[in-house]
């Protein structure tokens, strides 16, 4: 595609700042120019014009921690503590899920995500089937994503086989839109020796396949306050200095580690994370819903740590809405710190865009700049809740809704136009999801009776 998106306020999320009456020029899958609409229209007169008058033009949002297959479990078990939610409700139902169920649940979440302006997702789940899985859903619907297989100590051999197949089949697939990660579930479900083995495996995969993009190390960390006790109970080792300090003693931390949640951190944890360049993904809505606590985001940013944003899965958040996530991220820090200046709008937009790209070590996305991938969204600002307009960035964080997204482009291809999904029929996805849900519940009930 050769196109120019013009007329709106361009939020570059880079050195270009914000450009009123701006434009972004796309050739193929890349951005080739960013600047004033008047100048670029004259320079590229024959390019297809996409009118963004009265809109905001910004990089596609990056959801840096998700479990997209769990779209099929949305609302199944709400209002339970994390341990009870997982062990008594979610895990028993997940045990009945087949590869096709995971594919359909992923399609549902991807459709919701794209319609809400998310162009890239970092997802952790079970790689149950080589043909029906999260990677296929992302590829089929035209999204960009990092896909990981979640690893547990109780299924090491199964994990090894799944990781090998995932990396061979999907890393660099779909024209480079798919990358993979190695995903130990958490320090309390992965024993120390296995954690080190998975670290070594990630290093080995990067040696073999790193030319197609970095393979990251995605893990839940310090989500609840009792995690050190859970580690000691499970494996007989101490994490009293902090969970990140414990992982550092194992030698598994580095700049490719994507640490989700990071709520309960010691001062040593933060020091270690800064030293090892560990990336953090803050999940404010999920953490609130499960009463896990509030991550010390302001302290992390002050320490120079990259902090991205995630929604977590649809069953612990209930939506894949990154606009809602941005707003809650800002408000939580303000109320917890008693400081209305904490985590201003620009910082939150960075977390949802360029910081997400940095967390995933995906340099080609996250900002509007020549040479970057053409992952672009257009948000309609001509709405009652977005007027009058003083600050576009402020409105994007505090007032905009995912339903305000008008256009979404991934790799230079229009995947959402005028608020409608273009790559697949949304009605078909919803119908598939409802049928898969009924089949899943019938399997649970038949085996439980």
Which residues does residue 5 pair with via DSSP β-bridges, in sequence order?
Answer: 24, 50
Taking only the tens place, the pLDDT of each residue in 345-404 is 999 999 999 999 999 999 999 999 999 999 999 999 999 999 999 999 999 999 999 999
Residue 355 lies in a domain: yes
pTM: 0.97
Q: What is the CATH number of the domain that holds 409?
A: 2.30.40.10
Which pLDDT value is given to residue 448? 56
Residue 446 lies in a domain: no
- Both 308 and 412 in one domain: the answer is no
- Counting Cβ atoms within 10 Å, is residue 340 exposed (0-12), middle (13-18) or buried (19+)? exposed
Residue 267 lies in a domain: yes
- Both 396 and 310 in one domain: the answer is no
Query: Nearest-CA neighbor of 22 among 7, 44, 32?
Result: 7
Asked if pLDDT for residue 222 goes beyond 70, the answer is yes
Average pLDDT over residues 209-222: 98
- Both 252 and 347 in one domain: the answer is yes
Asked if pLDDT for residue 446 goes beyond 90, the answer is no
Choice among 86-95, 247-256, 430-439 with the minimum mean pLDDT: 86-95
Q: How confident is the model at residue 236 (pLDDT cuts 50, 70, 90)?
A: very high
How are beta strands 376-380 and 307-309 bridged, if at all?
Answer: unpaired
For 11, residues 6+ apart whose C-beta sits below 8 A from its C-beta are 18, 56, 57, 58, 59, 349, 368, 392, 393, 396
Q: What is the number of domains present in the chain?
A: 2
- Both 55 and 67 in one domain: the answer is no
The range of the structural domain enclosing residue 179 comes to: 61-359
DSSP conformational letter for 90: I
- Both 101 and 181 in one domain: the answer is yes
Which pLDDT value is given to residue 447? 66
- Both 186 and 223 in one domain: the answer is yes
- Both 177 and 294 in one domain: the answer is yes
- Both 407 and 263 in one domain: the answer is no
How are beta strands 118-125 and 61-66 bridged, if at all?
Answer: parallel
Residue 31 lies in a domain: yes
- Both 42 and 175 in one domain: the answer is no
- Both 87 and 182 in one domain: the answer is yes
């Amino acid at each position: 595609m050769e196109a120019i998106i013009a007329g709106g306020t361009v939020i570059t999320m880079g050195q270009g700042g914000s450009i009123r009456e701006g434009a972004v020029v796309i050739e193929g899958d890349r951005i080739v120019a960013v600047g004033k609409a008047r100048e670029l229209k004259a320079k590229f007169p024959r390019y297809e014009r996409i009118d963004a008058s009265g809109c905001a033009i910004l990089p596609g949002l990056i959801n840096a921690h998700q479990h997209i297959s769990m779209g099929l479990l949305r609302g199944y078990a709400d209002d339970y503590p994390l341990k009870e939610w997982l062990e008594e409700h979610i895990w028993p139902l997940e045990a009945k899920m087949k590869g096709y169920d995971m594919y359909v649940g992923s399609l549902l979440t991807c459709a919701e995500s794209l319609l809400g302006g998310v162009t890239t997702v970092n997802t952790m789940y079970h790689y149950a089937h080589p043909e029906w899985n999260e990677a296929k859903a992302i590829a089929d619907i035209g999204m960009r994503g990092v896909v990981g297989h979640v690893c547990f100590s109780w299924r090491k051999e199964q994990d090894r086989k799944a990781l090998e197949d995932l990396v061979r089949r999907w890393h660099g697939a779909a024209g480079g839109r798919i990358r993979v990660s190695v995903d130990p579930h958490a320090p309390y479900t992965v024993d120390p020796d296995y954690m080190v083995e998975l670290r070594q495996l990630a290093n080995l995969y990067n040696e073999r396949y790193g030319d197609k993009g970095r393979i990251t190390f995605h893990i839940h960390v310090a989500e609840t306050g009792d995690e050190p006790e859970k580690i000691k109970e499970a494996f007989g080792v101490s994490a009293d200095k902090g969970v990140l300090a414990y992982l550092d003693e194992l030698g598994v931390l580095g700049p490719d580690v994507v640490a989700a949640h990071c709520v309960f951190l010691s001062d040593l944890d933060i020091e270690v994370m800064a030293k090892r360049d560990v990336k953090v993904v803050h999940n404010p809505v999920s953490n609130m819903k499960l009463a896990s606590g509030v991550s010390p985001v302001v302290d992390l940013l002050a320490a120079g740590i990259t902090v991205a944003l995630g929604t977590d899965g649809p069953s612990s958040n209930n939506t894949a809405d990154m606009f809602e996530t941005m707003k809650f991220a800002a408000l939580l820090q303000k109320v917890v710190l008693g400081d209305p200046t904490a985590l201003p709008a620009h910082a939150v937009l960075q977390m949802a865009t360029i910081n997400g790209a940095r967390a995933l070590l995906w340099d080609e996305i996250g900002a509007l700049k020549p040479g970057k991938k053409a992952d672009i969204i257009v948000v309609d600002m001509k709405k009652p809740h977005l007027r009058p307009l003083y600050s576009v960035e402020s409105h994007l964080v505090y007032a905009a809704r995912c339903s305000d997204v008008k256009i979404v482009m991934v790799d230079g291809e229009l995947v959402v136009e005028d608020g409608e999904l273009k790559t697949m029929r949304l009605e078909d996805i919803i119908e598939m999801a409802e049928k898969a849900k009924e089949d899943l519940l019938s399997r649970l009930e038949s085996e439980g009776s």
